[in-house]
Amino acid sequence: MLQFDEYKVKLNNLKPSLDGLSQALDLPAAERELDMLESESAAPGFWDDLEKSQKVTRRMRQLQNKLEAQRKRESQWDDLMTLCEMGNEEEDESLVPEVEEGFAKLEAEMEEARLSTLLTGEYDNSNAILTIHAGAGGTEAQDWAQMLYRMYTRWTERHDLTYQVVDYQDGDEAGIKSATIMIQGENAYGYLKGENGVHRLVRVSPFDANARRQTSFAAVEILPEIPDDVEVDIRPEDIEMQVFRSSGAGGQHINKTSSAVRLIHKPTGHKPTGIVVSSQQERSQVQNRETCMRMLRSKLVELQMEAHAEKISDLKGVQLKIEWGSQIRSYVFMPYQLVKDNRTAYETSNVNGVMDGDLDGFINAYLTAAATGNWATK
């Protein structure tokens, strides 16, 4: 049947790219490393050093997932080819939707794997700490910040990652003043690091009785969660701890307790870093403090990396000042619909899709530009 023959051609055209993924992902090296780590984990006394053993087992899981994902993609290809041959032999049109769906899924998974080959930064496989700050403009800007919050949580759900609300500050009338979420999953930071910067919205404000067009800004900060084995010098005397009552959207986002924690970094004898972190996600003050310490570690590592010019691009990509007017991306709702990234020139008119978490086009364009150095702006 013609439909099955067409998909056999598509599958055969896809096969070189599928085979090339093994080389691009350097799977032979992953197998060798996994064998070495498995031998190490089987050695006597492996669990004597708990911190080291946990690091090894984490790495083993990552390698196992990487190898298994490619085996699964190869198996999907074989299954689809078998379905096409079976459909031809039996002239069974009922198999066509299954072939169509399976092919689309395989293409999407291959594209995601291809993107992962571009993640070569030191912390790209880490969890991501994402913070959104509303810019000047009151309710309009705070509403925009909440729209971005929804966009990123939808993106997280689309990719089967998980997130925890760490801090959530309601706006005065609507929206949010700021929010911090921990996005957990392999390569979360690597995929999202390009979102760091100022995001600009142009629309007719629903808060303006005269229905005038408004421009709003919000700043998005992306940091990797730094592994525990990375040494960061934080002296107890350099930290001021404040305890306050949690405040969220009617208890929808966080627990309202009196155990929320804010840490202010004030290094003795050094220039203040200006770092302030807070956590409201846990009922326990101790747990909130631990979360704050993880965030503080990440911010201090960011400062250390910025002190070394050769590592700046690894952490934040193209450097643009976080100030109003230096936006990385514009979202235009009126008088036309367009979302455009200023750094890569990637754009789409599907505004609703973007706001519902469809960011893969922007992420793909950013990672490709970062790998090739082909930026629209320098």
pLDDT per 10-residue tile (average), the chain, 378 residues: 91 94 89 95 93 86 90 96 93 92 94 86 91 91 97 95 93 93 92 95 87 90 85 85 72 58 84 84 85 88 66 43 70 95 96 97 93 81
| Domain membership flag for residue 41 | yes
Residue pointed to by tokens 């002190």: 307
| Distance, CA of 261 to CA of 366 (rounded, Å) | 35
Instruction: Return the pLDDT at 207.
Output: 84
Query: What domain range is 350 assigned to?
Result: 128-228+317-372
CATH of residue 186's domain is 3.30.70.1660
Instruction: Return the pLDDT at 325.
Output: 58
Instruction: Return the pLDDT at 300.
Output: 87
Instruction: Return the pLDDT at 321.
Output: 44
Q: Are residues 69 and 19 in the same domain?
A: yes
- Name the domain count of the chain: 3
| Distance, CA of 57 to CA of 73 (rounded, Å) | 24
Q: Are 116 and 146 in contact (CB under 8 A)?
A: no
Return the structure tokens found at 334: 């009126």
Return the structure tokens found at 60: 């083993």
Instruction: Return the pLDDT at 247.
Output: 64
Name the 3-class secondary structure at 328: coil
Q: Are residues 19 and 109 in the same domain?
A: yes
| Distance, CA of 97 to CA of 29 (rounded, Å) | 38
| Side-chain-facing half-sphere of 282: CA atoms under 13 Å | 14
Q: Are residues 247 and 290 in the same domain?
A: yes
221 φ/ψ angles, rounded to the nearest 5 degrees: -115, 130
Instruction: Return the pLDDT at 120.
Output: 81
Residue 296, Cβ density class (10 Å: 0-12 exposed, 13-18 middle, ≥19 buried): buried
Q: Work out whether strand 197-204 and strand 329-332 pair parallel, antiparallel, or are unpaired.
A: parallel
Q: Are residues 224 and 245 in the same domain?
A: no
